[in-house]
Amino acid sequence: MKTAVLFILFLLLTWNSLSEGATPLQSLIPQKDLPEGWILIDGPQVYTKKTLFERINGQADLFFKYGFQKSVFAVYQNRKDKENQVELDIYDMGSVLHAFGIFSRFRNGDRPGGVGLDSYFEDRSGFFYQGKYFVMLYGPESNPGLLGDWSQFISKKIPDRSLPPREIGFFPKDGLKPGSIQYFPEGLLGRKFLGRGFQGTYTDKVEVEGKVKDKNKAKTEDKEFKFFVAIFKNSQEAINALKHYGGDLANKGKVYQFESNTLRGEDDYRGEVLVVQRGTHLLGAIGFGKEETKIRMAEFMKNIK
């Protein structure tokens, strides 16, 4: 009997190990064969949902919304210059979708470094996502090159080669502001009824009133607007959300067309609105001011298989 119990416990432990993946998170922290002149001086320290506040108190709630599982932290130091250190955090977000999502909320524009599935680098920080992992690095001094080298080094240790979320490819390329696509697990565009989905920022040149040196040329400026795709469990949920959007727009703006699977109108604060239901998705553009948007919407719809 005792042997049978021990065997069952062994099977359960083995199953848990397999379900968590073949690579323990701690093993992604390099401890040997480091870049020349560098040593590990702190960590690896693992954080869970119960302890993440100890590491990033003000941002833990955001990570929880994106499916945070656990993270590991370490600090590296240059042997010749003890002030020259690199802090490393690797977050297991549970899926490539959530890893992209948290990555998309931290980047501020388009400063890629060619690491992982996508990356972003500033003077003293850099981060990237690869598979289900979101990786952040910090340095005390401005040295993007150093952080880039360390990012490449860490990336090679990560075995997950998952592809980016396919929804990123839905967005038309024309006019898309680089680095602007974001994923929200809830409250897309600040509207609870839209649930989860992606949004991207677009820019168009629009004419504005004002004097210009060349009277034959109109004065223009960049106008930003959003494209979005909300994702639902089934078509009926998408239809219900479109109806909810129509009612919301009628109360806070104007409705020009609301029939079948299409909604057109104007939001008092965000401008023109065009939303189309396609299967389990709602695709929309909001705040636009050119007819070219309809062409982009047709491409948007075509990209959803």
pLDDT higher than threshold 80 for residue 202: yes
Tokens 């979101």 belong to: 134
- Range from 34-48, 88-102, 213-227 carrying the lowest mean pLDDT: 213-227
Band of residue 208 on the pLDDT scale cut at 50, 70, 90: low
pLDDT at 246: 94
Task: Identify the burial level of 55 via C-beta atoms within 10 angstroms of its C-beta, where 0-12 means exposed, 13-18 middle and 19 or more buried.
Answer: middle
What separation in angstroms does the CA of 12 have from each of 17, 19, 32, 45, 214? Answer: 9, 10, 32, 26, 77
pLDDT at 6: 43
Mean pLDDT, residues 280-286 taken together? 94
pLDDT higher than threshold 70 for residue 8: no
pLDDT higher than threshold 50 for residue 248: yes
CA distance 8 to 121: 48
pLDDT at 58: 86
Band of residue 218 on the pLDDT scale cut at 50, 70, 90: low
The percent of residues in the chain predicted with pLDDT above 90, rounded, is: 61
CA distance 73 to 149: 18
pLDDT at 10: 40
The percent of residues in the chain predicted with pLDDT above 70, rounded, is: 87
pLDDT at 209: 61
Among residues 262, 277, 111, which one has the least CA distance to residue 197? 277
Q: Quick one: how far is CA 66 from the chain centroid?
A: 9
pLDDT at 220: 64
What tens digit of pLDDT does each residue of 77-117 get?
Answer: 999 888 889 999 999 999 999 999 999 999 987 887 889 99
What separation in angstroms does the CA of 163 have from each of 96, 285, 296, 303? Answer: 8, 26, 25, 17
pLDDT at 215: 60
- Range from 24-28, 38-42, 201-205 carrying the lowest mean pLDDT: 201-205
What tens digit of pLDDT does each residue of 52-67 get?
Answer: 999 998 899 999 999 9
pLDDT at 24: 86
**221 or 40, greater pLDDT:** 40
Among residues 224, 89, 218, which one has the least CA distance to residue 147? 89
pLDDT higher than threshold 90 for residue 259: no
Band of residue 21 on the pLDDT scale cut at 50, 70, 90: very low
Band of residue 182 on the pLDDT scale cut at 50, 70, 90: very high
Mean pLDDT, residues 233-238 taken together? 96
Task: Identify the burial level of 222 via C-beta atoms within 10 angstroms of its C-beta, where 0-12 means exposed, 13-18 middle and 19 or more buried.
Answer: exposed
Band of residue 14 on the pLDDT scale cut at 50, 70, 90: very low
pLDDT higher than threshold 70 for residue 28: yes
Q: Are 44 and 73 in contact (CB under 8 A)?
A: yes
pLDDT higher than threshold 90 for residue 305: no
Q: Are 286 and 264 in contact (CB under 8 A)?
A: no
Q: Give the other-Cβ count within 10 Å of 18's Cβ.
A: 9
